[in-house]
Amino acid sequence: MKEKGKKITIYDVAKAAGCSTATVSLVLHNDKRIKEETRNKVRECIKTLNYKPSYLARSLAIQRTQSIGIIVPEMTNPVFSELVHGAEGYLSQNGYNVIIGSTNQDLDKEKLYLDMLSGKKVDGLIILPTFLSEIEDKLKDMQAMHFPFVVTGVKSSMKNVNYVSTNKVEGAFIGVEHLIHRGHKNIAFVRGSEVEEHSSERLEGYIKALNVYGIPFREDYIIKSRQDFSDVREKVRGFKKEHPEVTALFCLYDFIAMAVMKALYDLKLSIPKDVAVVGYDNIQLGEYLPVGLTSIDGNNYKVGEIAARILVNQITSDAEEIQHIILTPKLVIREST
């Protein structure tokens, strides 16, 4: 039984679990050499005793790698590379190297990177998940082991988890609202993958804007595609032939919007005279397209920078304050609308 006011130490955990302090330390660092039965017993004792190891003490006990892992869905999309650049800039200034794991939106790969990088390969993780609900068990294990991590890009429902994101529902709402203010009523959403948390939040904002302005939601106005140029281009061409009444397209990413614009040019349609296009994330390239792309600025660079700052603070201090930061997106109007 824990004595009132007594600070629980690693020695208390070792005694309760019937093992050495070295074994407890290995369990804390998610060392795979420890048997599952022993691991579970030590974890249970940690939970029962409410043991919270000091990150500062950990750094003195083991040699830090001075490396941070960043797990992203892919690096070909400028959205994710911008977030990485924001994190990398701050981490570099604070003496950390960066290891990037690109999952290609594959669940098994996402789980593999979480296991590999949290197993003493890095000092902490910045995670931009594609499959947040499916990896929550792994995040809970990392949380129980006091392994530092920050979730970015999406809001986590888990307690005591640091996350940094933008209000994507609001971002989608103001993008669709802008199209409505331009006189459009038949507005389609080029969604991409259904599994992405980003996709679900932006769909919610799209539907919300339609509802607020009394425009009926139509399921057949949702264009689903893989997130590569050729598939988006093909799907949009087919959709526009079937739905000539659609005069505006709201896109999940600027990356997708560029493929959408190419598909419209293939059909000899003028932007925005025949069809208006709104993207999301305000990547730098969007400003320099032949027709500048109207987009939602999601502050991706800032998201990465803030996530890195929170993570470094988590690693180097005993601060246990949990931060939930949601940035406000803004509409950037260009020639495509």
**Cα separation, 237 vs 241, whole angstroms:** 6
**Cα separation, 33 vs 36, whole angstroms:** 9
Burial degree of 185 (CB within 10 A; 0-12, 13-18, 19+): middle
Per residue in 1-52, pLDDT (tens digit) is: 445 556 788 888 899 999 988 788 778 766 667 888 898 899 899 888 888 7
pLDDT score recorded for residue 318 = 60
pLDDT score recorded for residue 1 = 45
As annotated, the residues of the chain forming the CATH 1.10.260.40 domain(s) are 10-53
The Cα-based distances of 272 to 93, 172, 221, 275, 332 in angstroms read 43, 19, 19, 5, 15
**Cα separation, 109 vs 103, whole angstroms:** 5
**Cα separation, 130 vs 96, whole angstroms:** 25
CATH topology of domain 168-297: Rossmann fold (3.40.50)
Total length of the chain: 337
CATH number of 65-165+300-326: 3.40.50.2300
**Cα separation, 16 vs 44, whole angstroms:** 10
**Residue stretches of the chain with pLDDT short of 70:** 1-6, 29-32, 53-63, 120, 193-198, 227, 318-320
pLDDT score recorded for residue 198 = 63
Hey, how many other C-beta atoms are within 10 angstroms of the C-beta on 11? 11
What are all long-range contacts of 15-21, with beta carbons under 8 Å and residues at least 24 apart? 16/45, 16/48, 16/49, 17/41, 17/42, 17/45
The token pair that represents 60 in the structure block:
């003195």
Contact 260, 277 (CB under 8 A): yes
Contact 222, 189 (CB under 8 A): yes
Per residue in 234-271, pLDDT (tens digit) is: 999 999 999 999 999 999 999 899 999 999 999 999 99
CATH number of 10-53: 1.10.260.40
pLDDT score recorded for residue 9 = 84
The token pair that represents 230 in the structure block:
């050729």
pLDDT score recorded for residue 4 = 54
pLDDT score recorded for residue 197 = 58
As annotated, the residues of the chain forming the CATH 3.40.50.2300 domain(s) are 65-165+300-326, 168-297
